[in-house]
Amino acid sequence: MIPFSRFRHSITFRITGVFLLLLLLTAIGVILSIRHFVKRDLQEGTRHEMRDAMGRLESELFQLRSELSLFAQLSAGAAAIEEQGSNLGGAAAMQITLVEQARLRGIEIDTFMSNHRTNGPLTEVLERAFAGIPTVDYVIQGGGPGRLHLVAAAPGRRHGKKRQVATAALSLGREFLRRKRASLGGEISLLGKGEVIATSSACQECLECLRKILFDSRQWFLLESGKSVYFTFDCKPESQAGVATPFKTFDGKTVAAVIFRSRANEEKALYHTTLGVTGGSLAFCAAMGAAFFLLSSLAFRPLTDLTRLSAGISEGRYGETVQVKGEGEVADLAQAFNRMSVSLKNAVQEISDWNRLLESRVEEKSQELEKVHLRMVEVEKLAAMGQLAAGVAHELNNPLSGIMGYSEIALEQFRDKPPERITPQEVAKMLAYFGHIDGLSQRCRAIILDMLKFARQHTEELKEIQLSDVVRQTLVFLDKSLTRSKVKVIADLPGELPFIKGNGLQLQQVFTNLILNAAQAMPGGGTLSVRTRRNGGVLEAEFADSGGGIEPEHLNRIFEPFFTTKPVGEGTGLGLSVSYGIVQHHGGEIRVESQPGRGSTFTVVIPLSPQA
């Protein structure tokens, strides 16, 4: 099973994530669009419902106008019959019936004579009726919440110069509005300019919102122009929607009839619609995401196999292949990858064969180079022996001359003398001559043994040695040669230095080359400072001469084979090269510092033994 930390970085996971993100963004856009259109439709539906309710209110008010006019006319007719005295019983019954029906409808019936005096707009209505003009209109009369009335005035019979007028009035107050509230489906309010005339609502906050909206100069201007106004407002605990329709009173004042109700049903419908669309969209996104994930997993499975194959190739498992199904770019890629894997396997096999062949060839060449190196070491050693030959001959000449001298003296003294004539004193003298001859012979033997030791074939065996002892033995071996070259040696060879792992004979050859080179750099004699020391994890053997130094352009070449600045016949050019190879074989190096006219310093650096 693939760990989630690795799976979340897979191409399937990423592409599915991008697809789901785009799908969710699209779903959000669709949800917002649907919500917008549903909200608009719901608002439009509420607007139509409010306008329908207002239409019904206007229709009912129109019917009331007709009823009131009819009641006024009937009342005037009943009064006329009663005054004529004909059918008094029928007139009385008719009057009683009208009063009863009016009471049931909240209508107040009354009669007035032309000499009756009232105050306010009602007087103007009566004046029209006294003039014989029937009138039905809205009248604001008196104070209090029921001061808006719908009044119908019908002229009756004349009594001389006087006329009787019958009126039917309906108060459009709180009780009337509350009776209409149930049938219209909302609260009803009647507003004049700057005041609430009557209302069925007990919500003071709603009335305050109505005042703020409708008493605004622009809104009231629209109402005075005869236009209806639709509006919404937020009121705790629910937002409201309302419609206001204006009408004129008898004296020309504008009164707005307002119907408003809660938008809870609209908001509830919008909420459920949004919730349903959101749930459906999320379910659709989840289903599409799962389907896309499965399809992408199938589509990218070859890439997963190729990734696994790539990991195997990186671990060295060449030649593995994946199964190719179908056609298309992924199948072509898988086939190309299979060919590459097989080609890599073949190439690696060929490289392995070449490596084995090269290893065998390198081993052969390394052995040949080792033999060449050993030959070069011997050649350089022979060259060094050649340089020492004159000194060795001189060293051997002196003791050999002494041996010959003592031998000749003994022969002259005892050649012709019989043994019986030899005295004890002469025997003692002969023994002294033999002692001198033995000493001189031992000296010749030591010189020859040193030469043989130097000329001996070197082995590659490394063992624990003391660097100061090897340098000291080399100086003893070269003492006579240095003395003849007038070279003064200043040695600082401490014996408490730690041991190193090395070959003493090979290192002695290195030190011999360096010392002889220093002596040759001082043809008129000079000083050679030799010292050994410890410097961290290495031991150093330093050889500093007071010769003419090395030119800067030659410093980078002095360790090259066959490079030499000596005259022809005085050097092979192999000494420093062979010496550097020996020191490298010991894991060390040779450092050189030189300035023309101020001498040269060669430092042999060899690492300490692990146990040191």
Average pLDDT over residues 562-581: 67
Q: Does 521 lie in the same domain as 484?
A: yes
Q: Does 523 lie in the same domain as 558?
A: yes
- What pLDDT score does 258 carry? 92
Q: Is residue 443 part of a domain?
A: no
Q: Is residue 185 part of a domain?
A: yes
Average pLDDT over residues 240-261: 90
- Residue 349 parent element (H or E): helix 329-414
Closest by alpha carbon to 352, among 342, 340, 344?
344
Whole-model pTM?
0.46
Average pLDDT over residues 99-121: 70
Provide the sign of the torsion angle of the four alpha carbons 319, 324, 329, 335, taken in this order.
positive
Q: Does 254 lie in the same domain as 239?
A: yes
Is the pLDDT higher at 164 or at 7?
A: 164
Q: Is residue 282 part of a domain?
A: no
Provide the sign of the torsion angle of the four alpha carbons 107, 113, 114, 118, taken in this order.
negative
CB under 8 Å to 454, separation ≥6 — which residues? 381, 384, 385, 477, 508, 509, 512
What are residue 592's phi and psi, to 5 degrees? -135, 135
Locus of tokens 């004539």? 421
Q: Does 193 lie in the same domain as 67?
A: no
Highest mean pLDDT among 329-338, 443-452, 568-577: 329-338
Q: What is the pLDDT of residues 169-186, one digit of tens each?
A: 888 888 888 888 888 888
Highest mean pLDDT among 42-51, 230-239, 456-465, 597-606: 597-606
DSSP class of 185: T
Q: Is residue 552 part of a domain?
A: yes
Highest mean pLDDT among 6-20, 266-280, 441-455: 266-280
- What pLDDT score does 81 carry? 61
- What pLDDT score does 83 carry? 58
Q: Is residue 439 part of a domain?
A: no
- What pLDDT score does 457 carry? 46
- What pLDDT score does 533 carry? 94
Q: Residue 457 burial by CB count (10 A; 0-12/13-18/19+): exposed, middle or buried?
A: exposed
Three-class SS of 399-435:
HHHHHHHHHHHHHHHHCCCCHHHCCHHHHHHHHHHHH
Q: Does 133 lie in the same domain as 217?
A: no
Q: Does 179 lie in the same domain as 158?
A: no
| Domain end among 228, 244, 262 | 262
**Is residue 572 over pLDDT 70?**
no
Structural domain for 530, as ranges: 460-612
Share of the chain above pLDDT 90, in %: 11
Q: How many residues does the chain have?
A: 612
Model confidence at 244, pLDDT cuts 50, 70, 90, reads very high
Q: Is residue 522 part of a domain?
A: yes
**CATH code of the domain in which 583 resides:** 3.30.565.10
CB under 8 Å to 498, separation ≥6 — which residues? 534, 539, 608, 609, 612
Question: Structural domain tally of the chain?
Answer: 3
Q: What is the pLDDT of residues 307-362, one digit of tens each?
A: 777 777 777 777 777 676 666 666 777 777 777 877 878 887 888 888 888 888 88
Q: Is residue 573 part of a domain?
A: yes
Q: Does 103 lie in the same domain as 210?
A: no
**Is residue 449 over pLDDT 50?**
yes
**Residue 146, SS3?**
coil
**CATH code of the domain in which 77 resides:** 3.30.450
Q: Is residue 496 part of a domain?
A: yes
Q: Does 186 lie in the same domain as 73?
A: no
Average pLDDT, the chain: 79
**CATH code of the domain in which 243 resides:** 3.30.450.20
Q: Does 183 lie in the same domain as 161?
A: no
| Domain end among 114, 142, 169 | 169
| Domain end among 233, 262, 291 | 262
Q: What is the pLDDT of residues 191-215, one digit of tens each?
A: 988 888 888 888 888 888 888 888 8
- Residue 269 to residue 264: CA distance in whole angstroms: 8
CB under 8 Å to 255, separation ≥6 — which residues? 138, 140, 148, 190, 191, 192, 197, 246, 247, 248, 249
Q: Does 526 lie in the same domain as 588?
A: yes
Is the pLDDT higher at 128 or at 568?
A: 128
Average pLDDT over residues 121-141: 81
Q: Does 491 lie in the same domain as 609?
A: yes
Q: Does 234 lie in the same domain as 89?
A: no
